[in-house]
Amino acid sequence: TFIGSILSAVNPYKFIDGIYGLDLMQMYMKKQLGDLPPHIYAIANEVYDSMWRMRENQCVLISGESGAGKTESTKFILSYLSAMSQQACPSGKFAVEEAILQSSPILESFGNAKTVYNNNSSRFGKFILLTFANEGNIVGGQITDYLLEKNRVVRQNPQERNFHIFYALIAGAT
């Protein structure tokens, strides 16, 4: 549900067909917040639209407890902004958007681990800065990570695992 420009979302802990994707993105594009039912794409659209309407930087804060869906929400917002960027760039050069979207699994492997509550729990925070051209397309991005749970490298709590990257390296070596 919306609380002003705040979206309160719940992680269903399973994939639900039909609530994300290009068709739904297009439905929310260029709509005012509140015109359609609450959705992460509505927030992403509001951010993109406000950036151009007010000519000011915009910020999205994604917060919640472990397993709340913060990582997935970030991916949905980035996917939406990437789609808007691609529409704004008629030349067909989408390398920056693709690089940003494809960096997520790499970051996750180095910073996510299995915990008691979540099989893919982020053990770090990240700040993502996107730079847009005057035409509305993404021309750059920077991802800064912070607060990495470094003690996990040498010790894990019972029933928890190390960062995913260690298991990927071991699997690759065999």
- Which pLDDT score, from 0 to 100, does residue 104 have? 78
Q: Is the pLDDT of residue 95 over 80?
A: no
What percent of the chain has a predicted confidence (pLDDT) above 70? 95
Compute the average pLDDT of residues 134-143. Answer: 87
pLDDT confidence band for 121 (50 / 70 / 90)? confident
Distances (CA, A) of 158 to 114, 121, 135, 152, 170: 11, 15, 51, 12, 21
What is the C-alpha to C-alpha distance for residues 44 and 90, in angstroms, rounded to an integer? 21
- Which pLDDT score, from 0 to 100, does residue 48 have? 94
Residues ≥6 apart with Cβ < 8 Å to 140: 96, 130, 131
Q: Is the pLDDT of residue 146 over 70?
A: yes
Residue range 35-63, pLDDT digits in tens: 999 999 999 999 999 998 888 999 999 98
The structure's pTM equals 0.83
DSSP for residue 163: B
Radius of gyration of the chain from its Cα atoms, rounded to whole angstroms = 18
Q: Is the pLDDT of residue 153 over 90?
A: no
What is the C-alpha to C-alpha distance for residues 56 and 35, in angstroms, rounded to an integer? 23
Q: Is the pLDDT of residue 93 over 70?
A: no
Q: Which residues of the chain form beta strands (DSSP E)?
A: 2-3, 6-7, 112-113, 121-122, 125-132, 138-146
- Which pLDDT score, from 0 to 100, does residue 92 have? 57
- The pLDDT mean for the chain works out to 86
